[in-house]
Amino acid sequence: MAFFVSVALLPVYRFFYSKNIPKAIAIVLALLLFISVIIVLVSFIWWHVRQVVEDFPQIEQNLKQHFLSVNAWISEKMNFSVEEQKAFIQEQRRNLLHFNGNIFNAAGVLSPQ
């Protein structure tokens, strides 16, 4: 990691050094610029994550509403009641878990040694 940081900062250091800035100050400026960029990126990501977390109750409510509207549409168009849909989903979930267990057993992941 340090190698990649040094390779990335070398052009910045050379730029400052070419402007007749002493080596030590050019290195410090390059590091400060790097740290500033990292702080800005982390702040940007944190701001977006915070927005999603704050909006999570609304997102959850919207997903539930859409899920219920899809259930109603399937029930109306295909005569497949909500209870039958839930039973079908549970059955497919069990089949998927069983299928994944068989794959892991076949690969020797879960089999005892």
Give me the residue spans of the domains in the chain. Answer: 2-76, 81-113
Task: Please give the average per-residue pLDDT across 19-38, as a whole number.
Answer: 94
Residue 27 CA, distance from chain mean position: 34
Alpha-helical runs (H) found in the chain: 2-18, 23-78, 82-107
The rounded Cα 38 to chain-centroid distance in angstroms is: 19
- Report the pLDDT value the prediction gives residue 17, as an integer from 0 to 100: 92
**pLDDT surpassing 70 at residue 87:** yes
Task: Answer positive or negative: Cα dihedral of 69, 79, 86, 94.
Answer: negative
